[in-house]
Amino acid sequence: MAEMKIRHTETAGDYSSETVFEGKDLEFIHEDLLKTLFGAKNVAPAPEGKKEVKLAAVETKQPGVEGNVVAIYDNAGIPSFMYKFTRVSNKELFGGSDKPHPAFVIGGEIYDEIYISVYPNCEINGKPYSLPYQKLWTNLTNDEASEACFNKGEGWHLMTAAEWGLIANISLKNGTLPHGNTSNGQYHADASEKGVKYDGGDGRTLTGSGPATWTHNHTPEGVHDLCGNVWEMLRGLRIKDGVLYAAKDNDAALNIDLTQEGDDWHRIKDNSGNVVKASVDGSIKITTYPDIEQDYTGDCWEDVEVECESEQLKELALFAGEPKAYLYIDSTSGEYFAIRGGYWSHGALAGLFYTSLHNPSLRFPLVHRFPLRLFQETLITAY
C-alpha cells in the first residue's frame, strides 16, 4: 500500500494545464485513470481483462529524505519512475581528482543532473519502462536493449558503465551498499528480507518488491534491485583480446559507434597513461604489462591482484568495493561485454561490484534499465 500524488503539467506558450490525482492506501490504479492521464492508445491492456493495473505502489517519502523520485514521460506518453542524481566529483566520491564523475559528462558537455530508472525495466508495447511490481523484461542482446531505450526519444538510453559506477561509488561512500534477491527470492544473509516472486520467473522477484535495504540508499525512494535478482547489462564497457575498453566519459549515453570495430571505444588507462589489461592464469591480475596470460576464470574481488593505480577503474567501480563480490574475466581472443549486479542464486558473490566480462552479447536472462540525461517539461511527481 502507498500514498500517491500524480501531477501532470503541460505547458504551451502562455497556456498551461494541470491534472492532479491523489490517493491513499493504493495497491492498484484503475485502467481508466491511466487512459485519462497518459492517453488511451498508450496504455497496455490490463492483465486477463481486469480493469486494475498494479502500477504505482510507490512508498510514502520518509521524514528528512529529499524527494528525488520523479516520473517522466517518453515519446509514447507513458511515464517511468526515475531517480535524480546531482553532479558530484571524483574527489567527493572516492578521493580522486576534482573533475566531475564521468556519468555527468556527455558529448563533452557537463550536466548538473541525470535521471536513472528506479526499477529494472518491464516492457509495454515494445519499449522499456521503470515501474514497480512488474515482471522483468529479459532475453535481449546488448544491441537490442540499446535500441529499445533509444527508441523512447531524446535523452533515453541503456544504462552505461559510467552510471553504474556512479551509483556503486555513492552507495559505498554512504555505507548503503544494497542487499537484494541473492537466494531464490530473499537475501542470503537475512531470510526476512524478501521480494515477491512470480510464476515463470524461477527465483526472480517483481521489480521493487523488496524492502528498503534493497535500494542504493536504503530508503524506499532509492534505486531498486541492483544486487542480485537478474544480471544487468550495460553499455560502454567491454574486454577485447584481454584489453579493457570503455566509451569516453558517458558518451555511451549517445548513439555512438560501439560495434566490435567501432571508433568510439577507448582503452582504459592507469594514472600514468598506460593501457590496462586483464591477465588470467588460474587467477586474475589487472595489469599494464604488455604480455598477459589469456584464459578465463572468476574470483572474489579481494583475491584479484591489481598492479596499477587507475582513477578510471575507480570511476567505473572496477575495484574491491565489496571484497566478496565476484569478478569474472575472459581475456581470450574476442569481445565480451560487461554484466553487473549478480543473480538470484549468487549469495555473497552478488552486489553492485559484481562484474562479469564474459558475455559475447548473446541472449541471457539479463535485464536492463535506462537513464535519461535531459529533464523534460512534462512530468509527474511521486511524493
Q: How far is CA 13 from CA 9, 16, 38, 154, in A?
A: 13, 8, 21, 21
Confidence grade of residue 71 (pLDDT, cut at 50, 70, 90): confident
Q: Region 24-48: what's the mean pLDDT?
A: 46
Q: Is the pLDDT of residue 51 over 50?
A: no
Does position 24 have pLDDT exceeding 70, yes or no? no
pLDDT value at residue 269? 98
**Contacts for 209-216 with beta carbons within 8 Å, 24 or more apart?**
209/132, 209/133, 210/179, 210/180, 210/181, 211/179, 212/59, 213/178, 213/179, 213/187, 214/178, 214/179, 214/180, 214/181, 214/187, 215/176, 215/178, 216/167, 216/170, 216/171, 216/176, 216/178, 216/352
pLDDT at residue 275 greater than cutoff 60: yes
Does 303 map to a domain?
Answer: yes
CA–CA distance, 193 with 345 (Å, rounded to integer): 15
Instruction: Report the helix count and the strand count for the chain, using DSSP H and E.
Output: 5, 25
User: Which of 120, 113, 125 minimizes the C-alpha distance to 75?
Assistant: 125
CB 313 within 8 A of CB 357: no
Is residue 247 over pLDDT 60? yes
Strand pairing class (379-381; 127-129): unpaired
Q: What cell numbers appear for 114 in the block?
A: 541525470
Q: Tally Cβ neighbours within 10 Å of residue 255.
A: 11
pLDDT band at residue 379, thresholds of 50, 70 and 90? Answer: very low
84, part of any domain: no
Looking at residues 188-207, what average pLDDT do you find?
93
* pLDDT reported for residue 180: 98
286 domain residue, yes or no? yes
Find which of 49-63, 135-149, 363-377 is predicted with most confidence, using mean pLDDT.
Answer: 135-149
Q: Which residues contact 219 (CB under 8 A, 6 or more apart)?
A: 62, 65, 212
Residue 348 forms part of a structural domain: yes
| The pLDDT of residue 375 is above 60 | no
Query: What percent of the chain shows pLDDT beyond 90?
Result: 70
Structural domain includes residue 311? yes
Q: What is the mean pLDDT of residues 27-37?
A: 48
Amino acid 57: pLDDT: 36
Helix, strand, coil proportions of the chain in percent (round to 5)? 15, 35, 50
Q: Is it the case that residue 58 has pLDDT exceeding 50?
A: no
Interatomic CA distance for residues 162 and 219, integer angstroms: 23
Q: What is the pLDDT of residues 92-126, one digit of tens each?
A: 999 999 999 999 999 999 999 999 999 999 999 99
> Quick check: is 156 in a domain?
no
- The range of the structural domain enclosing residue 350 comes to 233-359
pLDDT tops 80 at residue 320: yes
What is the structure's pLDDT at 46?
40
Residue 252 CA, chain-centre distance (Å), reads: 13
CA distances from 290 to 41, 293, 309, 375 (A): 57, 10, 16, 44
pLDDT value at residue 356: 96
- Indicate whether 31 pLDDT > 60: no
Q: Would you state the cell numbers that stand for residue 349, as one nine-digit string?
A: 558473490
| pLDDT at residue 371, as a whole number | 76
Which residue from 69, 65, 91, 64 is spatially nearest to 80, judged by alpha carbons?
69
Which residues, listed in sequence order, are joined to residue 150 by a DSSP beta bridge?
Answer: none
Which amino acid, one-letter code, is at 41?
K
So what's the pLDDT on residue 359? 80
Task: Report CA 317 to chain centroid distance, whole Å.
Answer: 13
For residue 149 the three cell numbers come to: 531505450
- Output the average pLDDT for the chain: 83
Name the domain count of the chain.
2
- Close Cβ partners of 109 (under 8 Å, ≥ 6 residues apart): none
- Cβ partners under 8 Å of residue 15, min gap 6: none
Q: What is the pLDDT of residues 340-369, one digit of tens each?
A: 999 999 999 999 999 999 887 654 556 667
Q: Which amino acid is at 103?
A: A
In this predicted structure, the answer to whether residue 176 has a pLDDT above a threshold of 60 is yes
pLDDT tens digits for range 217-227: 999 999 999 99
Classify residue 205: in a domain, yes or no: no
Question: Would 71 be classed as within a structural domain?
Answer: no
